[in-house]
Amino acid sequence: MGWFSSDPKAKDAAYVPPDREARNRCWEARDTFYDCLDKHSIVNPLEDDRTKNACPKELAGFEKNCASSWVKYFQQKRYADFRKEESLRKLKEQGAEFVGELSGGPGK
């Protein structure tokens, strides 16, 4: 029985992180979902209403094979990466030059 549960069948279950095989299944499902999004020109799956209609099978597989926190993270990262690439492309068009990676923080 859990500490704050009125359900006598409730159990205290520790979080078990996904093993290598589970992570690979998640990444494969994510990549399949992303391929579908790309095919339908959907950049931000969290805000585009077309996502569920365009890729229902792929989205279901992604949500089934990945933890919900991973699903949210990957979808947010997809859009953030797109915005980053767009910003870099625009800067390059304006004549900006890449100077390399910045090292450390102040004083480094």
pLDDT tens per residue, range 11-33: 556 878 888 999 999 999 999 99
* CA 95 to chain CA mean position, Å: 32
Q: At 1, is the pLDDT very low, low, confident or very high (cuts 50, 70, 90)?
A: very low
Tell me the HSE value of 3 on the side-chain side, using a 13 A CA sphere. 2
Task: Over range 37-45, report the average pLDDT.
Answer: 93
Q: At 49, is the pLDDT very low, low, confident or very high (cuts 50, 70, 90)?
A: confident
State pTM to two decimals: 0.70
Task: Over range 74-102, report the average pLDDT.
Answer: 86
The secondary structure element, H or E, covering residue 81 is helix 68-93
State how far the Cα of 22 lies from the Cα of 101, in Å rounded to an integer. 34
Other C-beta atoms closer than 10 Å to the C-beta of 25 total: 15
pLDDT at 32: 98
State how far the Cα of 90 lies from the Cα of 96, in Å rounded to an integer. 9
